[in-house]
């Protein structure tokens, strides 16, 4: 079981805004399921954590104690509150490859130059574990992105959602 620690997600013990109001989920490393539904574990939009600039890198820290031999990570943005997702970075097969924990992994994720600007964007880390129970993990944070070039559209893939009720199940 793993979680995004930086940027700190909605309701995370690592997010000062949620610590201040006492609204912390102490099980952020659990996979999505009936109690933590897709998208974003069923969390409501929160305060904007940080402003990022298109063309720069975002430092992402993932941690926990069961990386399930790695798997696939997707990093995505939603401009409509989590209804639709644009995947802008993917790590195939080799995301969090260690077998034992507790462990932390750090990635510098490039924010593409054609990223659409916005004041209320949902950033998500999504993980399909390589081994063990077939699960899907997702943590979300509310951010702002600036892009002075104001591109007309953003290239990217749709989010691959699997291993949940109503979605395909993929093998190890």
pLDDT in tens, the chain (172 residues): 999 999 999 999 999 999 999 999 999 999 999 999 999 999 999 999 999 999 999 999 999 988 888 899 999 999 999 999 999 999 999 999 876 666 899 999 999 999 999 999 999 999 999 999 999 999 999 999 999 999 998 999 999 999 999 999 998 8
For residue 139, tell me if it sits in a domain.
yes
Give domain status of residue 88, yes or no: yes
In DSSP notation, the chain reads: -EEEEESPPTT-TT-HHHHHHT---TTTTSPPBTTBPTTGGGPPP-----EEETTSEEEEEEEES--TT-EEEEEEEESSTTSS-EEEEEE-SBSS--SSSSEEEEEEEE--TTPPPEEEEEEEEEEEESSSS--EEEEEEEEEEE-TT--S----BPP---SSTTS-----
pLDDT tens digits, residue range 95-130?
998 766 668 999 999 999 999 999 999 999 999 999
Q: Write the CATH number for 59.
A: 2.70.50.70
Structural domain contains residue 164: no
Whether residue 35 lies inside any domain: the answer is yes
Residue 154 forms part of a structural domain: no
Task: Indicate whether 94 belongs to any domain.
Answer: yes
Question: Domain limits at 118?
Answer: 2-146
Residue 92 resides in a domain: yes
Which pLDDT score, from 0 to 100, does residue 41 have? Answer: 98
- Whether 110 is in a domain gets the answer yes
Domain tally, the chain: 1
């Amino acid at each position: 079981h793993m979680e995004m620690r930086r940027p700190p997600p909605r309701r995370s013990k690592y997010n000062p805004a949620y610590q201040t109001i006492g609204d912390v989920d102490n099980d952020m490393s659990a996979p999505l399921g009936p109690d933590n539904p897709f998208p974003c574990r069923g969390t409501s939009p929160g305060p904007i954590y940080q402003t990022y600039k298109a063309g720069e890198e975002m430092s992402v820290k993932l941690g926990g104690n069961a990386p399930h031999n790695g798997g696939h990570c997707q990093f995505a943005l939603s401009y409509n509150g989590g209804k639709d997702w644009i995947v802008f970075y993917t790590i195939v097969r080799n995301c969090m490859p260690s077998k034992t924990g507790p462990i932390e992994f750090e990635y510098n994720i490039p924010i593409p130059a054609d990223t659409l600007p916005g004041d209320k964007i949902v950033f998500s880390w999504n993980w399909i574990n390589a081994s063990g129970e077939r699960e899907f993990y997702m943590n979300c944070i509310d951010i702002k992105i600036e892009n002075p070039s104001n591109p007309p559209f953003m290239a990217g893939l749709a989010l691959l959602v699997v291993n949940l009720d109503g979605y395909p199940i993929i093998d190890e």
